[in-house]
Structure 1
Amino acid sequence: MKVENISYRINSRILFNNISFDTSNSGLTLITGKNGSGKSTLLKVLLGIVQPYSGSLISEEKVSYVPDSSDNYFIGLSPNLLFGFLQKQFFIETNLFEERLRELREQFYLNEKLMTQTIQSLSLGEKKKVMLIAAFLLDSDLYVMDEPLSGLDQISVENLLQLMEQKINLGKRFIIVSHERQEILPTVDQIISL
């Protein structure tokens, strides 16, 4: 993804101005800033969910998105239904899908009981695990994640960071918003401060 001079404003308030970066040579891009600085909005601009005030971005990659909260996404679905939907929507071969899902459920400790509950009824950490598994099931080129470590237990944080490192070694890229700089910093290639 190549981002050139992206700016965004709400009425007369400028959230960010002339942001430029390129992920082609970066395994992990970290976006930081104070609360309300526009980090999550920048991710939504990068995903095409909202339009920038000015600037351009070029992306031809398969992208997976992990929102900060899943409350507005997939209300009423169970993880089983969500994952099954993704398999059908993205034409993932059944054996490959089942193997990926088994591995990811083991890494994030998502047990069978949780697979049948509604996502809405899960704890923050469990919701985050569901969203991470959904993203990694798609085996995308670029992963865009808003606060992926929030709500996770320490073992899941370690497993996520290890999985990210494995994906980066395979040529995958990440754009992450996180306040957990110390956890992520050792693997960061570039930092965008808002």
Structure 2
Amino acid sequence: MVRVENITYYISAQKKIEQFTYDMASHSLTLIVGNNGAGKSTLLKLMAGILTPECGQIFQTEKVSYVPDSSENYFKGVTPLFYFNFLRSEFRIEKNFFNSRLVELMRNFNFSERLMTSEMGSLSLGEKKKVMLIGAFLNDPQLYLMDEPTSGLDQESLSNLLQEIEKERQKDKKFIIISHEHAELFQQVDEMIQL
């Protein structure tokens, strides 16, 4: 699934991650915890292929969805509708499945249809997070990489997120999640990585 072998990554000539090794083969939910600045988000970006390690290797054998921390501005000038349609086209998601799943996820995350044509930059932290989560679940990957997926969510959306994660785990999907706000909410964690 995902295997990391002795990766090292530098930021501004300082080692952020040093000789890190991890194998997810037998785990379905891994939680990454640690202090701010410990390298949690950097590690997830390395696993997602957004960053390249200075040395070491990362092996991925399955389709991956990455949910960034909502404070990152990956989608300036883009609307949720454009983003979701881009995902459908890019990952060749069957249209009927896409449409019904999108409606279901919008309902589950209390994401209003009126926001579909709003620019992402105008959305609140929680609304941006919902867009990223909906997009990840629409993509239907084998592995989810989620950076603080609970941040900015209202209580009902948080509860629905946990239910979605559990449903996906029942289908043998795997999760690597960074969370320090709500780490205690994730039940049946297979492994915890402390950075």
State the AA in 2 paired with 1:99.
S
Superposed CA deviations along residues 76-130 of structure 1, whole A, max 9, x for unmatched, are 1111111111111111111110011011011101111111211111110011000
The amino acid that maps onto 1:58 is F
C-alpha separation in 2, matches of 1:82 and 1:129 = 12
**Hey, what's the Cα distance between the residues in 2 that align with 1:2 and 1:81?**
33
Counterpart in the other structure of 1:168: 169
Q: How many residues align?
A: 193
After the TM superposition, which segments of 4 or more aligned residues of structure 1 sit over 6 Å from their partners?
Answer: none
What is the identity, as a one-letter code, of the residue corresponding to 1:23? M
User: What is the match of residue 104 of structure 1?
Assistant: 105
- 2:141 — aligned with what? 140
Q: How does 1:17-96 map to 2 (within 5 A)?
A: 17-69=18-70, 71-96=72-97
SS at match of 1:9: strand
Q: Which residue identity lines up with residue 182 of structure 1 in the other structure?
A: E
Cα separation, 2, equivalents of 1:115 and 1:9: 38
Instruction: Return the offset for 1:174.
Output: 0.6
Structure 2 distance, partners of 1:155, 1:41, is 29
Structure 1, unmatched stretches of 5+, are: none
Alignment map for 1:153-192 (pairs within 5 Å): 153-179=154-180, 180-184=182-186, 186-192=187-193
Q: Give the TM-score of the pair, scaled to structure 1.
A: 0.94
Contact 1:71 1:120 in 2 (8 A): no
Aligned identity (percent) is 52
SS at match of 1:115: helix
**How far apart are residue 176 of structure 1 and its match?**
0.9
* Structure 1 residues 26 and 117: alpha-carbon distance in aligned structure 2, compared to 1, 3 A threshold: same
RMSD of the TM alignment (CA)?
A: 1.3
Gaps of 5+ in 2: none
Q: Which amino acid aligns with 2:24?
A: T
Q: What CA distance in whole angstroms lies between the structure 2 residues aligned with 1:40 and 1:190?
A: 17
Residues 98/125 of structure 1: CA separation in 2 closer, same or farther (3 Å cut): same
Match of 2:131 in 1: 130
Report how far residue 187 of structure 1 moved: 2.6
Distance in structure 1 (CA, Å) of the matches to 2:11 and 2:80:
35
> Equivalent residue of 2:69, what SS?
coil
Take 1:11 and 1:103, find their aligned partners in 2: how far apart are those partners? 43
Report the alpha carbon displacement of residue 54 of structure 1 after superposing the two structures with TM: 2.2
SS in 2 for 1:187: coil
